Amino acid sequence: MHKSIDILKKFDLFTGICTENIGKILDHFNANICSFNEGEYILRKNHELNKIAVFLDGNAQIVNEDFLGNRMVIEQVGKGEILGEAHSLLPFDAPTVNVVALCPTHVIFIEIDCILTPVPEISDCQSQLRSNLMKIMARKLLNYAHKIEHISRRSTRQKLLSYFTEQMNKNQSSSFDIPLTRQQLADYLSVDRSAMSSELSKMQRDGLIRYNLNHFELIANDEYAF
């Protein structure tokens, strides 16, 4: 657990909290580390949750699946990110999505009482923890708003351009790498992978983009804009 504390103190959730006090929080609220292999479920839908999941390493996808097996990638998460905070704060509102490991992944689970239940000897730490959590949740809301903006576009081209524009702005460069594979990008934008791949080729022929694997460059072209 001590090795984990050295990792955790670099994460946004523990900003402003010293190593000693992180240890106190973990001890007091029964934190435990779990390991997951590729393809294993980290969190399952319809299971009540009372803990925050903090990713020590690895990557996972938040996936929504319907009864026919159709899947939509809500988000990809990895080292330093957290999950389960909203559902932990609303214990009777169980998650409606699955979280699946994309590779070997270690997650530390901390009881939500670290936020809700005052403990006098670490009250200052808890206050900082609440402040950090609010900022993280606000950032997530903005990310979800961006995704809604992308998938609300009518065509696959428009969805891709919306997503690439966000990545360009985030990287402050028209040349950037995206963090998703082709299948993950198709799932994220709620489009068919083969149709998306075909559209990417057309966009390159039209002079809108250049790409190689996960590296893309947006090219200004008023004629073929949205």
Higher pLDDT, 223 or 154: 154
Is the pLDDT at 53 greater than 90? The verdict is: yes
Structural domain boundaries of the chain? Answer: 2-149, 153-224
- What's residue 225's pLDDT? 47
Contact call for residues 26 and 110 (beta carbons, < 8 A): yes
Rounded Cα distance, 125 and 116, in Å: 13
pTM: 0.73
- What's residue 80's pLDDT? 93
- What's residue 30's pLDDT? 84
Residue 59, H or E segment: strand 59-65
Is the pLDDT at 35 greater than 50? The verdict is: yes
| CB-based contacts of 189, cutoff 8 Å, min separation 6 | 150, 151, 156, 159, 160, 163, 196
Q: What is the DSSP string of 181-210?
A: -HHHHHHHHT--HHHHHHHHHHHHHTTSEE
- What's residue 184's pLDDT? 85
DSSP code for 122: G
**What is the rounded average pLDDT of the residues 84-106?**
84
CATH architecture type of domain 153-224 = Orthogonal Bundle (1.10)
- What's residue 11's pLDDT? 93
Is the pLDDT at 221 greater than 70? The verdict is: no
Write out pLDDT tens, residues 38-48: 999 998 888 77
**What is the rounded average pLDDT of the residues 13-18?**
92
Q: What is the pairing mode between strands 209-212 and 175-177?
A: unpaired
- What's residue 51's pLDDT? 87
Is the pLDDT at 224 greater than 50? The verdict is: no
CATH assignment of 2-149?
Answer: 2.60.120.10
**What is the rounded average pLDDT of the residues 73-92?**
83
